[in-house]
Amino acid sequence: MTDPVLVEFREEGATVITINRPAARNAFDYRTTVGMAEALDEMDRRDDQIVGIITGAGGTFSSGLDLKAFLAGERPTLEGRGFGGMTESPPRKPMIAAVEGYALGGGCEIVLACDLVVAAENAKFGIPEVKRGLVAAAGGLLRLPRRIPYAVAMELALTGDFLDARPAHAYGLVNRLTAPGGALEGALELARAIAANGPLAVRASKQVVAEAATWPPDETWRRMRAITGSVFASDDAKEGPRAFAENRAPRWTGR
């Protein structure tokens, strides 16, 4: 049986996770969700991996929920982790979605659970669950209005219509556009820029940016210092300035 999720741990510190069900347009069943969760956990555990990339096989990202599996009683979620093993509890390390073709329903919600998005110019996004009498309850209704204008998000949620990559880029949902077929390489280019930096600083920066909007105003500085304090006390915090003074590339240890 073909693995529904493929994982490649690359030397430059980027983990490439490929949703590998092209015959089902990379729709998620329970087995795919488990495979995704295992891949993300391994990436988070490995010190040599700084950033993750999620993409889809066969020219499409993901059509979301496998409706046939759903009708058979399957639910592609994990307790505490959500759809695809990540929508409720994304990894600690930065995640980039590399989107070709369609990212719909749960596929779009996987994209929204990522921190950065690189998309081909012909990619399309959407949460069309209402067209099937369902709702985008795996984060689409929560995250989409935070990533694009409220009225646009509301229209997508109520009509189920698609959003093309170019307006998605203009709204700020997509970081970088590429030619069709180039999303993964574009994501790897972005990943290399991230992986060149101090791994402790990268993880702490992601955590603060991702969480700060929900902190009470009188708690923001204390909570930020609780996350970043250990970074300033690390060996890497000494190595960065030392490498700059010696005009060489830093040698990060993650300590």
Enumerate the active-site residues: 109, 129
**E strands in the chain:** 5-9, 14-19, 51-56, 77-78, 82-83, 95-99, 102-104, 116-120, 124-126, 162-164, 176-178
d(CA 71, CA 237): 53
The dihedrals phi and psi of 164, each to the nearest 5 degrees, come to -70, 160
- For residue 25, what are the CA distances in angstroms to 59, 76, 91, 191? 9, 15, 24, 25
Listed in sequence order, the residues at least 6 apart from 167 whose beta carbon sits closer than 8 Å to its beta carbon are: none
Least Cα distance to 60 among 112, 33, 99, 7 occurs for 99
DSSP letter assigned to residue 42: H
Quote the strand ranges of 100-174, DSSP E: 102-104, 116-120, 124-126, 162-164
